[in-house]
Amino acid sequence: MTTITTDSGLQYEEITIGEGTEATGRGQTAVVHYTGWLEDGTKFDSSVDRNDPFSFPMACGYVIKGWDEGVVGMKVGGKRKLTVPSNLGYGENGAGGVIPPNATLIFEVELLEVSE
């Protein structure tokens, strides 16, 4: 797999390239399955484990910046590995006692649906 690094520092790898509707950003709602890990391999969250897909409005600050940027360009049925630097994640505050300050996060995200 080829790792792509964006101007913001986000890195992603295409695990599976989807063939459905493309996520373009603002005005769309994305439905995904995801699993998130810290760099040391500690899993901190997974919609897959809960069997509960996560829906969010794209490009409006509802999720971390790394997700807003990392899902754009995916097509339904696709799966990406996102490596999210802390400035595109939870930054110096961390989150919920689970994600430490300044943590780089690793996500595997599968795009299940996109709607306008």
46-94 tens-digit pLDDT: 999 999 999 999 999 999 999 999 999 999 999 999 999 999 999 999 9
Q: Which domains can be identified in the chain, with CATH numbers? A: 1-113 (3.10.50.40)
pLDDT at 26 over 90: no
pLDDT at 34 over 90: yes
- Give the model's confidence band at 38: pLDDT under 50 very low, under 70 low, under 90 confident, else very high: very high
Predicted TM-score (pTM) of the model is: 0.95
Nearest-angstrom CA–CA distance, 8 and 114: 24
Q: Which pLDDT does position 32 carry in this prediction?
A: 98
Nearest-angstrom CA–CA distance, 111 and 31: 6
C-beta separation of 114 from 18 below 8 A: no
- Give the model's confidence band at 1: pLDDT under 50 very low, under 70 low, under 90 confident, else very high: confident
Nearest-angstrom CA–CA distance, 47 and 29: 17
What residues contact 75, with CB distance under 8 A and at least 6 apart?
A: 17, 18, 19, 20, 21, 22, 23, 111
Point out the residues that are catalytic.
34, 44-45, 64, 90, 107
